[in-house]
């Protein structure tokens, strides 16, 4: 059995997320049926004991830009997976405002769905420069907004009742991803932003003693910021969650 699919349109991603949220509210577990044309979420409790039944159907061509699957056999070209509905819903929520989402069937001791996202990615400015800016901002506010776009622009911003300070970095460049397919609804100048604890960012910047050979910032709007550094032969991944 094989299955992989991709969503690049933001409206389709949001629609699929809403459907998943609805399923999670209706059933703790359900069966996902994947066929060449459709996805079905199925719940069939024992009616004799007062159980309920559910059948939710989605046309795959209305959601996915890429869709490949192979069922059990040519005669039975379908895949059936039992899911914890809330797990799928949570995974899709993290992908809101991502540039693309991929879903594939993997086998990690048992068959499961793997959800991965392509984030708003941008190269970081010199970390020493960034640290100097953040140190000054920390004297004004404990919260910081990081925003970036696909046009090589990154902003660090703090706001209080008395003052608003923004530092702009331009022409930083954006990493080339395996797929450069971008939703038509996402303009390169559109900003993805996340509000974080400025102290956690400063802790990360203060810990960098070696100039990295690669420094990339990935943002999921209003959810998390991910720093990906390559320090000689050491790879460092650092995540800061958004403030609630």
Q: Is 185 within 8 Å of 96 (Cβ atoms)? A: no
- Structural domain ending residue among the three candidates 118, 149, 172: 118
What is the C-alpha separation between 75 and 218, in angstroms, rounded?
44
Question: Residues 144, 228: one domain?
Answer: yes
pLDDT of residue 51: 66
Rounded-to-10 torsion of CA 72, 78, 79, 85:
-170
- Structural domain ending residue among the three candidates 97, 118, 139: 118
pLDDT of residue 179: 47
Question: Residues 127, 237: one domain?
Answer: yes
Domain count, the chain: 2
pLDDT band at 5 (very low <50, low <70, confident <90, very high): very high
Question: Residues 112, 223: one domain?
Answer: no
Q: Which residue has the tokens 């971008």?
A: 182
Question: Residues 48, 112: one domain?
Answer: yes
pLDDT band at 237 (very low <50, low <70, confident <90, very high): confident
Q: How many Cβ atoms sit within 10 Å of the Cβ of residue 92?
A: 24
Determine the average pLDDT of the residues in 114-141.
Answer: 87
Question: Residues 98, 109: one domain?
Answer: yes
pLDDT of residue 184: 43
Angle at the Cα of 141 from the Cα atoms of 138 and 142, rounded to 5 degrees: 80
Question: Residues 8, 99: one domain?
Answer: yes
pLDDT of residue 107: 80
- Whole-prediction pTM value? 0.58
Question: Residues 235, 125: one domain?
Answer: yes
pLDDT of residue 32: 93
Q: How many residues does the chain have?
A: 244
Structure confidence by residue, pLDDT tens digits, 145-186: 999 998 999 999 998 887 888 999 999 998 875 544 444 445
Domain of 153, in residue numbers: 120-241
CATH label of the domain that carries residue 188: 3.70.10.10
Question: Residues 42, 69: one domain?
Answer: yes
Lowest mean pLDDT among 88-92, 97-101, 128-132, 196-200: 97-101
Question: Residues 153, 41: one domain?
Answer: no
Question: Residues 8, 68: one domain?
Answer: yes
Question: Residues 58, 80: one domain?
Answer: yes
Q: How many Cβ atoms sit within 10 Å of the Cβ of residue 201?
A: 22
State percent of the chain over pLDDT 90: 40
Question: Residues 179, 95: one domain?
Answer: no
Q: How far is CA 205 from CA 3, 37, 166, in A?
A: 40, 49, 18
- Structural domain ending residue among the three candidates 89, 118, 147: 118
Structure confidence by residue, pLDDT tens digits, 205-235: 988 877 888 899 998 888 888 898 888 778 8
């Amino acid at each position: 059995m094989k299955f992989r699919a991709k969503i690049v349109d933001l409206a389709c991603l949001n629609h699929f997320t809403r459907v998943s949220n609805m399923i999670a509210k209706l059933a703790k577990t359900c069966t996902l049926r994947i066929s060449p044309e459709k996805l079905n979420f199925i719940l069939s409790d024992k009616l004799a004991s007062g159980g309920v039944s559910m059948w939710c159907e989605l046309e795959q061509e209305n959601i996915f830009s890429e869709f490949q699957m192979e069922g059990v056999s040519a005669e039975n070209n379908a895949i059936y997976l039992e899911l914890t509905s809330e797990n799928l819903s949570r995974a899709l929520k993290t992908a809101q405002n991502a540039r693309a989402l991929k879903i594939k069937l993997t086998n990690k001791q048992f068959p499961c769905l793997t959800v991965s996202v392509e984030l708003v990615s941008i190269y970081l400015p010199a970390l020493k420069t960034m640290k100097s800016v953040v140190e000054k901002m920390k004297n004004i506010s404990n919260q910081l907004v990081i925003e970036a776009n696909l046009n090589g622009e990154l902003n660090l911003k703090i706001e209080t009742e008395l003052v608003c300070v923004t530092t702009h970095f331009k022409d930083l460049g954006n990493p080339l991803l395996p797929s450069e397919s971008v939703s038509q609804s996402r303009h390169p100048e559109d900003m993805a932003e996340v509000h974080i604890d400025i102290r956690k960012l400063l802790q990360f910047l203060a810990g960098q003693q070696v100039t990295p050979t690669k420094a990339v910032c990935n943002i999921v709007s209003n959810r998390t910021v991910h720093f990906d550094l390559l320090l000689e032969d050491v790879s460092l991944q650092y995540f800061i969650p958004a403030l609630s």
